[in-house]
Amino acid sequence: MIKKLWITVCCLFSIISLHCLNTAAADENALIRLTTTTSLLSSGLMEQIKTAFESDTDYILSVEAVGTGRALRRAREGNTDVLIVHSTAAELKFMREGFGRVRLPLMSNEFILAGPEADPAGVAKMDSIARVFEAIAAMQQRFVSRGDDSGTHKKELEIWDGLNIEPHGKWYIEYGHGMGKTLVFADKMNAYILVDSGTWLAMREQTRLVKLFEGDTVLNNPYHIISVNPAEHPDINAEAADRFVTWMTSKPGQNIIRDFTLDDVQLFTPAGKS
CATH number at residue 40: 3.40.190.10
Q: Are residues 152 and 245 in the same domain?
A: no
- The span from the CA of 91 to the CA of 37, in Å, is 13
Q: Are residues 120 and 94 in the same domain?
A: no
What does pTM read for this prediction?
A: 0.84
153-201: pLDDT as tens digits? 999 999 999 999 999 999 999 999 999 999 999 999 999 999 999 899 9
Q: Are residues 175 and 94 in the same domain?
A: no
pLDDT, residue 273, reads: 58
Q: Are residues 185 and 56 in the same domain?
A: no
Q: Are residues 138 and 12 in the same domain?
A: no
78-118: pLDDT as tens digits? 999 999 999 999 999 999 999 999 999 999 999 999 999 99
Q: Are residues 118 and 104 in the same domain?
A: no
> In Å, what is the CA distance from 211 to each residue of 86, 92, 105, 116, 193?
21, 31, 27, 9, 10
Q: Of 22-26, 87-91, 196-200, 224-228, which gets the smallest average pLDDT?
A: 22-26
Confidence check: pLDDT of 149 > 70: yes
Note down the domain range covering 95.
2-109+222-270
Q: Are residues 92 and 6 in the same domain?
A: yes
Q: Are residues 101 and 16 in the same domain?
A: yes
The structural domain count of the chain equals 2
Give CB contacts under 8 A, 24+ apart, made by 126-134: 126/213, 128/216, 128/218, 129/159, 129/213, 129/216, 129/218, 129/219, 130/159, 130/162, 130/163, 130/218, 132/212, 132/213, 133/159, 133/160, 133/163, 133/165, 134/163, 134/165
Do residues 95 and 227 touch, judged by C-beta distance below 8 A? Answer: no
pLDDT, residue 42, reads: 85
Q: Are residues 90 and 121 in the same domain?
A: no
**Mean of the per-residue pLDDT values of the chain:** 89
- The span from the CA of 42 to the CA of 178, in Å, is 9
